[in-house]
Structure formats: C-alpha cells, structure tokens
C-alpha cells in the first residue's frame, strides 16, 4: 500500500502538475489576445462612432444656423458641463488599434 501511495505521489508531482501548469498557461495565453472577429467588430464600432460624430456635428451646425442660442436651453447647472462635452467631443473618440 505504501508503494502504491509513493507511485501516485511521484506521478502527481512529475506528470499531472506540469501538465496542468502547461495546459492552463496555454489557455491563458490564448485568452489574452483578441480574436479576428472581435478586432473586426471593434473596427466597425469605431467607424459607426465616427459617422455618428459627424452627424452630430452636422446637426449642431444646422441648429447653430437656425438658432445660435439653442445651447442656452439647457438648465444653468448643466450648461458648463454641456459646453465642455461639446468642446471635447472630438477628443473622446480614439481609434483602438
């Protein structure tokens, strides 16, 4: 019985533990990288965000031409943050590559 326990212990130390380590480290390395489908999805989302940003800019130009004080319609407590968001809008979208 002691011989059997010793064989099991040696088997665990020299076979099972290295196998588990190598298996899970390779799984971890596979999970770290982004897949081609995910990269394509991110690229598509970036282009959609760019198009929406262009549309918002167009709408703002139309509204500025129609009523230059349209931004003042926001409550006074939100006016400063609204103006900051509009001014910084172009810096909020960055390409993720």
Per-position DSSP letters for 31-69, written without gaps between them = HHSPPHHHHHHHHHHHHHHHHHHHHHHHHHHHHHHH-TT
79 CB contacts (<8 Å, ≥6 apart)? 71, 72
**Pairwise CA distance, residues 22 & 79, whole Å:** 57
Host H or E run for residue 21: helix 17-32
**Pairwise CA distance, residues 87 & 81, whole Å:** 10
Minimum mean pLDDT among 11-25, 32-46, 63-77: which range? 63-77
Please tell me the predicted confidence (pLDDT) of residue 48: 96
Which is higher by pLDDT, 22 or 93? 22
- Going by the DSSP 8-state scheme, the letter that residue 93 receives in this structure is -
- Convert the pLDDT of each residue in 20-52 to its tens digit: 999 988 888 877 778 889 899 999 999 999 999
Which is higher by pLDDT, 76 or 67? 67
> What is the average pLDDT value for the chain, to the nearest integer?
81
Furthest-apart CA atoms within the chain: distance in Å: 92
55 CB contacts (<8 Å, ≥6 apart)? none
pTM, to two decimals? 0.48
């Amino acid at each position: 019985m002691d011989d059997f326990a010793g064989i099991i212990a040696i088997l665990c130390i020299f076979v099972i533990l290295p196998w588990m380590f190598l298996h899970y480290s390779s799984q971890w390395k596979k999970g770290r990288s982004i897949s081609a489908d995910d990269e394509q999805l991110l690229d598509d989302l970036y282009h959609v965000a760019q198009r929406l940003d262009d549309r918002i800019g167009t709408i703002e130009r139309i509204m500025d031409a129609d009523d230059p004080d349209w931004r003042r319609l926001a409550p006074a407590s939100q006016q400063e943050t609204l103006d900051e968001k509009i001014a910084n809008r172009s810096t909020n979208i960055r390409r993720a590559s």
